[in-house]
Amino acid sequence: MIPEGTPGRIIAAWRKRNFDLVVSEPMLEEIARVLAYPKIRKRLNWDDETISRYIALLRFEAEVVSVEGVKANVPADPDDNQLLATLIASKADWLITGDCDFDDLYELHPIIAPGEFVRRYL
């Protein structure tokens, strides 16, 4: 991750305890899966052990909420239902995502793009 990039700045702010991070087990699984993509592994220069330690850090330092039984619908991509369910279950202030599949949901849920989050809060 590029520290001065938008995702890097958000992670750094979280690590400094500028805000609380909320995740769910499905989110942690997705993060681990994405970090294992060859392109991502190469860019970060992370091996399996580093990825496992990062997921353990998230599990330990973030609030992990259950999404069991939470109804969520992302019409553009049902695979993203678990992400929206995490927002709903946690009652978090924001879901920070740049995924355009959430564009039609901005008026229904507190969703913010990463760049906008950085501009407003960091």
Query: How far is CA 84 from each of CA 41, 42, 45, 103, rounded to the nearest angstrom?
Result: 26, 29, 30, 12
Distance, CA of 32 to CA of 90 (rounded, Å): 21
Residue type (1 letter), 15: R
Say what the pTM is: 0.87
Q: How confident is the model at residue 3 (pLDDT cuts 50, 70, 90)?
A: low
pLDDT, position 5: 87
Of the candidates 15, 43, 30, the residue with the CA atom closest to the CA atom of residue 86: 30
111 pLDDT higher than 80: yes
Instruction: Classify the C-alpha dihedral 10-106-87-39 as positive or negative.
Output: negative
The two tokens of residue 121 are 């809060």
* pLDDT, tens digit, 9 for 90 and up, residues 11-58: 999 999 999 999 999 999 999 999 999 999 998 899 999 999 999 999
Nearest to 46 by CA among 66, 29, 31: 31
